[in-house]
Amino acid sequence: MHFPILTMPTCPKCGKGNFGIKEFQVQDANFRHYAIMCTSCGCVVGTETMQDDERINQIMAKLNGLEIELNNIKSSLMRHGIY
């Protein structure tokens, strides 16, 4: 992707150009929300949502475990000539 050359973003409140990201609570939200904030005055200049990677990793670990179990059952059944 090619972007035109632009000046660096500045805070609309204090005019400085250093930003940080911080998680904040949103009622009834399914995703984590992050505010992009000016590190000088705390003005919020943007927001981002992120999926809960920790929960997805837990689900993936459980799925991997189930796959191994299924393969064990499958090879056991094959050994007994059932599958």
Q: Which residues bind Zn ion (CB under 5 A)?
A: 11, 13-14, 38, 40-41, 43
Quote the tokens at residue 2. 């090619």
* Token duo for residue 75: 């090879």
Q: Residue 6 CB, nearest distance to Zn ion (Å)?
A: 19
Nearer to Zn ion, 32 or 40 (CB): 40
Is the CB of 35 or the CB of 40 nearer to Zn ion?
40
CB of 3 to Zn ion, least distance (A): 24
Q: Which is nearer to Zn ion, 20 or 65 (CB)?
A: 20
Element (H, E) at 45: strand 44-50
Task: Please count the other Cβ atoms lying within 10 Å of the Cβ belonging to residue 11.
Answer: 19
Q: Dihedral, CA atoms, 69, 71, 76, 81, nearest 10 degrees?
A: 150
